[in-house]
Copies of this chain bind each other. A is one copy, B any other.
Amino acid sequence: MSVAMNKDELSEYLAQVFPQVHKDFVVEELTEDSITMRLVVEERHLRPGGTVSGPSMFGLADVCVYAMILSRKGRQSLAVTTSSSMDFLRKPEGAADMIAQCRLLKLGRSLAVGDVLIFSEGADSPVARASMTYSLPPAGSAAAAFG
């Protein structure tokens, strides 16, 4: 195994490709097969009652697996989400950032799969669990990655 981008290179690249949302997400730690990312929770991520919205947690899980693929395959790589599943386990703390711990379970020729546990920062029990599958089109392919 080898890494195509380290933590700083990955952070910089995410800022380029997601100019609208990159400030929401911070890469906390990166290894060959895991990543920890933070969602900096702002008013716009909240739902009435002060909990973090489902779409915000979906976006966090999704960006984790995408970032893992980039860090291994490099910045020219194409990847699109094809399947996902999430379980919402507990009420998140609206006042706390969310911390996502992602494992890369598979990085194949055409598919990558990661799973994610999401925590309210400082809490021991996970708020949500997710798994995400990405389709990886051949490099240089003009084809959409949707298979």
What interface size band does chain A fall in? 35 or more
Which residues of A (64-121) have their CB < 8 Å from a CB of B?
A: 80-91, 105-106, 108-111, 113, 115, 117
B113 touches A89 (CB 8 A): yes
One complex includes copies of this chain to the number of 4
Across the interface, which residues of B come within 8 angstroms of A129, CB to CB?
105, 113, 115, 131
Interface majority SS (helix, strand, loop, mixed), chain A: mixed
**What string of 1s and 0s marks CB contacts (under 8 Å) between A20-41 and chain B?**
1000000000000000000000
Does A139 touch B at the CB level, under 8 Å? no
B88 touches A146 (CB 8 A): yes
B89 touches A81 (CB 8 A): no
